[in-house]
Chain A
Amino acid sequence: MTNPKRLLSSQTPDFDWYRKRLFVSACIVLPVFAALFFRLLYLQIIEGDYFKQLSENNCIRIQNFDSPRGLIFDRNGVLLVDNQPSYDAGLVLKDAKPLGQALQHLATYLDLSEDEIEQTIERKKSLAALKPITIKENISRNLLGFLEANRYDIPGLVVDVRLKRRYVYADTTAHILGYLGEVSSAELAGERFMAYRRGDIVGKYGIERSYEDILKGVRGGRQIVVDARGRLSTVLDTIASVPGSNLFLSIDATLQQKAESLLSGTVGAVVAIEPFSGKVLAMVSSPSFDPNHFIDGMSREQWEQLSKNRQRPLENKAIQAEYPPASTYKIVTAIAGLEEGVIDEKTTFNCPGYLKFGDRDYRCWRKGGHGTVNVIRALAESCDVFFYQTGLRLGVDRLATYAKAFGLGAPSGIHLDGEASGLIPTSSWKKKKTGVPWQMGETLSIAIGQGYNMVTPLQNALVIAAIANGGYLMTPVLVERIESPEGDILEETRSAVKGKMAISAKTLGLVQKGLWEAVNGPSGTARLARLDNIGVAGKTGTAQVFSRKSSGSDEERRALHLRSHAWFVAYAPFSSPKIAVSVIVEHGEHGASAAAPIAAEMIKTYLETSVGKAIIDEAKQQG
């Protein structure tokens, strides 16, 4: 034990010093408490009457103003989403005295039974005593006027104006725009929604979700003094709400509607983009849903119908669904073959209708075979044997390198949640995944886009866009411009080039020629996409849901859900591409018959309306 009485050295506690400090501390504590006491004296005695009066009226309350959410337009300024005022009649329980009388009047005016109102109140009573309980939403303007005129009959009545989101094009834009909903507990727990409160409405899906920060604005409110009947008498302090910014999408509403009508009745997706800018012109997933239903509230049956539907209406198939690319993938195989020098423009393979490899016959879609084909004809007529041969010479890993250069197997980076990445297999991927080494035979399937390959319709649109624009991989753009509510441009996207692929002009030229022949050649597979006066280049694809071997050859007799998916990717005009389209029709069987006409219609609509119109407008201005 230390002996405090021993002589002080520089290393022992100096208790006198501590005692002095403790004393000084006491001398600091006293005046601080005196200050607190004087403050009490001031508030309770000098200002006491004033505060007493305020408390008796218990009159200072807070009213929140929601900020108007930003509007969303298409590229031509066509309104896609706006806000409509909705009037809600509510009751502040504390002010509603006598309650019986208030309820009676309220029931008469709102055309509800007193029981119903009491039930509503019972359900929502746990809210703070001063928060109005919403009794009836969305009352008419007539009723609103009537209530205002008769509000003396109903103490505690509050009519709230709420801005309700309205999706002008309903189903047509649902997957792009998304919808709103109440912020969830899980969201509140995360950092992104830190500033939100329970009950706040936030974007749950689509643009509404990914641009939440920009669309939201800043909530406002005011401190008000109310009288004994709960009516406003003075405003103490107001903070104006700040509306959210407006978005101008790259979408063309006309084309979007066209795409929806073309897909109507089918399950599938269409993506159209500007090849040189990466701007998405249209993106439709079918079947769709009406986001307005999310605003008004859905019945349980309605929700189950949406969420349990086997056609998955809530899924944005353009970015979330993965399909085997089928023959559209031959574009990638052709480019890889040409660039790696395993084939050139003069290389020909003989197609007798199958390729014997190992102990198995790998068949071409044309039973009789294509005879001797070069790369251009192989693309035009989609000869499987040619690409089996090319694939064998390349090997799966070299092929995968090119596929990945086209952005396949990874999310494209479109600013929407839930984008799928697709899958591009490599030998090491398979070894890791299954433990079994890669089989050469599997390379044959991969080379014609079957097997493990998976792409999204958007990724396929970017592949064809890259062929059209000379080898540039684009990041898809959905939002062209962000404007402040006053109309100042806050942000603008002209184009988003992700990278230039190392593909020679010669290679691109050969592939483009093949795709042109597919649509315009004498025996091309995509002749249904041909348009008068507009040069279209494209590639069909038929993605097997089951392999040909196991499912037999008679496709007509197969159950619908076993039928192949129909693909078509195309761009036009051939000489100066303005639009690239990717179409998938689930179980549509043949790309040529089910998907190609849809793509052709899209191209025609776009070139004849938007671009054509712009050229005419320009000519008019100059003239």
Chain B
Amino acid sequence: MPDISAKPVRTIGSLLTARRGGKGRLHWTDVFTYFYLAFGIFLMFGPVVWLVLSSFKTSSALLEFPPTFLPLGQIEVQVEGYEKPLPLYEVKQEDGTVTQLAQIRRIGIVSQMVDPQNPGETIQVPIDQRSEVREFRMAWDNYRDPLERFDFTRYLYNSVVVTAIATLVTLLINSMAAFGLAIYEFRGRNAIMLFVIGTLMIPITVILVPVYLVVTSMGMINSLWAVILPGAATPTGVFLLRQYMLTIPKELIEAARMDKASEWRIYWKVVLPLTMPAIAVLAIFSIMWRWNEFLWPLIVLNRSEVYTLQVGLNAFQGELDVQWHYILAMTVVTLIPVTLVFAFLQRFITTGIASTGMK
């Protein structure tokens, strides 16, 4: 299985001239391949790029139709005799020349303007003859305001707490179970394996009501524990870790027992360090699952103080349909962690999925 991806791209030219089988004439399938890949980049990344660019636009720029590609802001100039900076416009004169004027105020369809070079004289201009002078500018307020004025910092905090604790709990109890199933031969092991396989088939969508009952009975409604605990024991995690632990030589464990190490010490100091690669894969997956979870938190978290980022974002877009500039910015905030995890651990994630089929 030669890994082409390991070779660096030398030039754009070599990228475009890669042929079927490496040599010979350009086959139609080569053309199709690169057309498909180019379209793939556009379709898969384009929406995300558009989201990020849009998130830096001001609320008024977002209402514009047709939209501009880059976030732009109107230039403001300081004019002598006026306290605040005035917005700059391009105005088409009757003789066809274009001059730049600053607007003092607007009355109906007439705009009172002033020439920044000659501040003494006020000029009346119909508003349809002026257009904004703009430059590339990022509206950082879109990010600052929701984090300061709304509860987004709290949602962010809740999501981080849920993700971190849930991942730790998952890693601990799943690796313990995997250790129990991989290292020992005992009566009932196959029954337990079957039991664990059985739970694979039961997604939470099928048992929403009774899990809600269990969580309510434990007094955990509107507590982050209600999100953390029910999904902590994942069959896929047990499987992944067990398969990995099966490769650890039995002699190592026998040797540790000879040295009078307790079983717990063998698990923690011998087996767990050797299982680190598999633990890392499970940790990455657990982080992504928990960060992205939606339906279950939506059911058990009804008070906005305990919302996770996903639930908060959904509630926010429902309530304030017009505030797209905030929604877009917070959507970007929500996708940053998984994007970073992906950027650094892409190879782990893709090989992990391809070999274990988990998502």
Q: Do A and B bind each other?
A: no
A residues neighboring B (CB under 8 Å): none
B residues neighboring A (CB under 8 Å): none
